[in-house]
Structure 1
Amino acid sequence: MNADKRREIFRRLREANPHPTTELEYATPFELLVAVVLSAQSTDKGVNRATRVLFPIANTPAAIHALGEAGLADYIKTIGLYKSKARHLIAASRMLLDLHGGEVPADRAALEALPGVGRKTANVILNTAFGQATMAVDTHIFRVANRTGLAPGKTVLEVEKKLVKTTPAEFLVDAHHWLILHGRYVCQARRPKCAECIIVDLCEFKAKTLPAAPRASARKRPATEAADV
């Protein structure tokens, strides 16, 4: 994909959604950290339902740690893998208290040292909470990047590096959110909604799901036209 086409894709996505953000509900970097850890293999809607109950009770490392694993698990038991997530969040809260004064660090290495926080989660925190130009490649972004031709790659890391390298600087901070939302609601896995896509003419996906063109009807012979003999 050439640079002009890539720029136009992001220009249209920005025009349609000038101020994109995560669909996870949060008010502080720590709340975002908790929500992102909980979102692994879960939906944002499911996470939001749980955190709407949890955060009024405990939304700081000290308060989460005070709940203990069993106490935290009670609040998040509607979420998949809730026991391991509770264990990770309790341990991460302890580390934040011991090593970072209870604050979420704006540093990749420090974030990835926290239990339950991998590269993708760290990228989300760095981008969404701290405005850094990172690219958190989830299944949606991986699919969109490969399908459209924006940044084809066989691994998540390969796609991430290509997107960071090739996305025009003016779009890079928000690109993560545009691509996730596009993959979630338009460029869906089983049947992409190509007919509704604002970048369909720029996308390099060969198997677009566009409506078939209507067949040309047979030309009707004018009433005055003589039949063939």
Structure 2
Amino acid sequence: MGVTDVTTEPNAPWLIVGLGNPGPEYAMNRHNVGFMVADLLAGRMGAKFKRAGKAQAQVVEGRIGPPGPLSRRVVLAKPMSYMNLSGGPVTALRDFYKVPTAHVVAVHDELDIDYGVLRLKLGGGDNGHNGLKSMTKAMGAEYHRVRFGIGRPPGRMQVADFVLKDFGSAERKELDYFVDRAADAVECLVAEGLERAQSAYNS
């Protein structure tokens, strides 16, 4: 099955997935920036996450975008299965809410981009990211990604150690701004399309 053109299904809902690990010990990890963006989007919608029935995830249902023709029906989701098993809950939610795969957006940390820089795209590889790897295995690769740069580990630090550490004190000074900008990028992607969002936010 090829990529679904967003313009052919303007009324189809969107599934916005913040990737991360559940539990307070992971809350400020670099690997959890997807959860941070999802939480901010939920706050903008004036809603709180709740358990999603049988799916191993928390969800918020609502709308994104300005009132009128650019408003889009969305489901925000945070898989509660741990990062490397994200594909199961995401696919279950996609099927339950009847979301085209091209209307799925994964918000995730990205090692090969400098801290705070955003890159939006449709499809592509997983670049070693276990959350993306699980999602792609479960439903194919043709979903959108909002990639939030966290940079490479310093010195000889292992990647797994780096992503599971909290953002450093210098990073935290700008973290709220960068998370806010990533949430703006998600809203732009959903309401106005990938090309417009890339032009505005692929810094």
Could you say whether these structures have the same fold, taking a TM-score greater than 0.5 normalized by the shorter chain as the test? Answer: no
Could you say which structure has the greater relative contact order, defined with CA pairs below 8 angstroms and 6 or more residues apart?
Answer: 2
**Which of the two has greater strand per residue?**
2
**Which of the two has greater helix per residue?**
1
Tell which structure's C-alpha radius of gyration is larger. 1
Q: TM-score, normalised by structure 2?
A: 0.28
